[in-house]
Amino acid sequence: MEKFEQFLQKLDKNLSEADMKLLRRAYQVAARAHEGQTRLSGEPYVYHTLAVAEILADLHMDAATLAAALLHDVPEDTSVTLEDLRAQFGDEVAKLVDGVTKLERIRELSRSRHGTLAEAQAENVRKIFLAMVDDIRVIMIKLADRLHNMRTLNALPPEKQQRIAQETLDIYAPLANRLGIWELKWQLEDLALQHLEPEEYRRIARLLAEKRQEREEYLQRVIAIIRNRLKEEGIVAEVTGRPKHIYSIYRKMKEKERDFEEIYDVRGVRIIVDSVKDCYAVLGIIHTMWRPIPGQFDDYIAMPKDNLYQSLHTAVIGPEGRPFEVQIRTWDMHRVAEYGIAAHWRYKEQVRRDLSLEAKIAWLRQESELRREVKDAGQFVESLKSDVFPERVYVFTPKGDIVDLPKGATPVDFAYYIHTEIGHRCRGAKVNGRLVPLDYQLHTGDQVEILTAKKGGPTRDWLNPELGYIKTARAREKVRQWFKQQERAENIAQGREILEKELQRLGLEQRPFEEIARIFKYDNADNFLAAIGYGDIAPQQIAAKLADAVVQPQLFPEPILPPPAVVGIQVKGVGDLLTRLARCCNPVPGDPIIGYITRGTGITVHRQDCPNIKNIKDTERLIGVEWGVMREAYPVDIRIEAFDRAGLLRDVASIVADEGINMSAANVSTHADNTATIQATLLINNIQQLRNVLSRLESLRDVLEVRREKA
């Protein structure tokens, strides 16, 4: 009870006596329910729920959230039911506890229903994100729960520590960042790094410790200089040293490939003032006192971050020629920067509308509703990583409104952000008054104008990630939905055309559509073709799936016995034999293959659709073979038809080299109609690599067709 009394002493003074009574009852119920239960660390279990409540109290969360934090594991781990809690604490607290409990149950169900832990984690993340739109306080409790679990991670086995730390760094820390909760974000990141990169964590911590006294003395001198100057200028401000966090230093060292001493914000000063006008006045004063470092200024007041964060950031060369970073913000900005969306619950019952809170909830609802349509958990998590968690760019509409997009976004992404119909009818774009291609990557500060047609729809090329037209999952899903709404017959026809073209390019056109549909887990070929037609299956997925599928036994009608451990080729039912690849058809990993027993030279491996194999009469000499562990490159002949021009072969060779592929032979022949044919032999590792290089060659200027040569 002593720990709980200490907890009460730290609570927000705005909490009423009724709130205090609620929390006392919640703790008493939790303590009785968890009596006798301990964590792996050996401490009483109720200490965990109290620690979660303390984390949320530091964020000034409301009494209902704190009570739910104290009770969040009761229905799951004890005999006390949710209905018992509802009867004692009311609907609001019970609903929050139920939300957290459901998330825990989802985690367990996900692990039992999904084939891999990664799939289970993806499904869990999907449910967590969708839950935010119902009551974001559920996620606040979940984040606090994760933070305390990270603080006590040493009690778990090493492999579990690694898995939980990685999940924290991938999902929970970015989620805290997106909600603007800096206090949780930096702690989650530092704790995750401590377990994922312990040596690097200790090295940076040691460097910080070794230089701490020198750094603090230097900062105190700088702070004194700034305070005196601001006092002379009549500006009231609080000037402090900014705390350093190990993960942010680690990330900047990695991203900028710099040593510890070259990171500017190892030394940091924060200046908090009363008004926005004072922020810019202080910035001008700092820049007149010390020389600013080019490229190190960010105005997040004029262009706030997506999580509502606002501040001015600059870096200057200070006294003794040492660089340091300065953050300048108002007190309201500071409150949002530290506590993010949590700051708004402190004044839950205020009469005045909180527009920033409403903007955040609107964002959550928009993102959540879009993602409800994404059923595949892995695809869902990838969309989070592409749309929600990455670095952002801030661009302007022609009217001057700010649009927040992930880094790498294009005019097509911008168009779909503005309105679905604008996206569908997008035919061109102007950036800063200049026409740009639709795969142009937008930069912060760009002004974007979309040129539209009166009617029409998107093109299927937009769904090809290799062409770079779309970055965001939002735009990609809208394009898919458009194609899904088209006539089924049209989608099937489009899908058939795409599939035939892809198989022809790979030299696999003999494979039945029904067989490929089964690989993608479709009951019939028409449904599979329709899915390709409306963009659910991208062309590059076909090669990847086929490469995986050829090692599955059910695709081979030959009898299967334990194969020998032969590198490269495995011969079914026979001991180690000499094998070589047939030059007539040049099979590569991913191709369906069959062996032919020769007289005196071992087994020659052919593609199953090789004409020489189809015409063979001595069929008893055929033997089942399959691809084993690949350690070498395989020759593949390709044919390129193009308009003849200077530098064509050079450009082809450059693309091949970029893909890390050797070209062992090349022959160019020109024709009277000003076209040229390039026949080349590439040393390919697998069918996916072949597909990638064919796609890149096909997008080359003046190229008409690229395909794999048949035997």
Residue-wise DSSP of 216-283:
HHHHHHHHHHHHHHHHHTT--EEEEEPPP-HHHHHHHHHHHT--GGG-GGGSEEEEEESSHHHHHHHH
CA–chain centroid gap for 260, Å, is 27
Do 652 and 556 meet the contact criterion of CB atoms below 8 Å apart? no
Taking the C-alpha atoms of residue 698 and residue 706, their distance in angstroms, rounded to an integer, is 6
**Tell me, what DSSP letter sits at residue 447?**
B
Catalytic residue status for 632: no
- Three-state DSSP state, 356: helix
Measured CA distances, 421 to 53, 345, 462, 509 (Å): 46, 37, 15, 37
Taking the C-alpha atoms of residue 146 and residue 123, their distance in angstroms, rounded to an integer, is 17
Marked catalytic residue, from 19, 76, 332, 497: 76
Do 545 and 519 meet the contact criterion of CB atoms below 8 Å apart? yes
Widest Cα–Cα separation across the chain: 101
Taking the C-alpha atoms of residue 498 and residue 492, their distance in angstroms, rounded to an integer, is 10
Catalytic residue status for 76: yes
Residues 6+ apart with CB under 8 A from 640: 652, 677, 678, 679, 680, 697, 703, 705, 706
Spatial CA neighbour of 282 closest among 319, 294, 274: 274
Marked catalytic residue, from 12, 77, 200, 439: 77
Strand blocks (E) in 373-475: 392-396, 402-406, 426-431, 434-436, 448-452
Question: For residue 635, which phi and psi values (nearest 5 degrees)?
Answer: -75, 130
- Three-state DSSP state, 662: strand
Taking the C-alpha atoms of residue 82 and residue 95, their distance in angstroms, rounded to an integer, is 9
Looking up tokens 């009483």 gives 44
* Burial 469-494, CB ≥16 within 10 A → b, else e: bbbbbbbbbbbbebbeeeeeeebbeb
Quick one: tokens of 149? Answer: 């679990």
- Three-state DSSP state, 498: helix
Taking the C-alpha atoms of residue 464 and residue 475, their distance in angstroms, rounded to an integer, is 13
Q: Which amino acid is at 638?
A: I
Quick one: tokens of 525? Answer: 């070929």
Active-site amino acid positions:
76-77
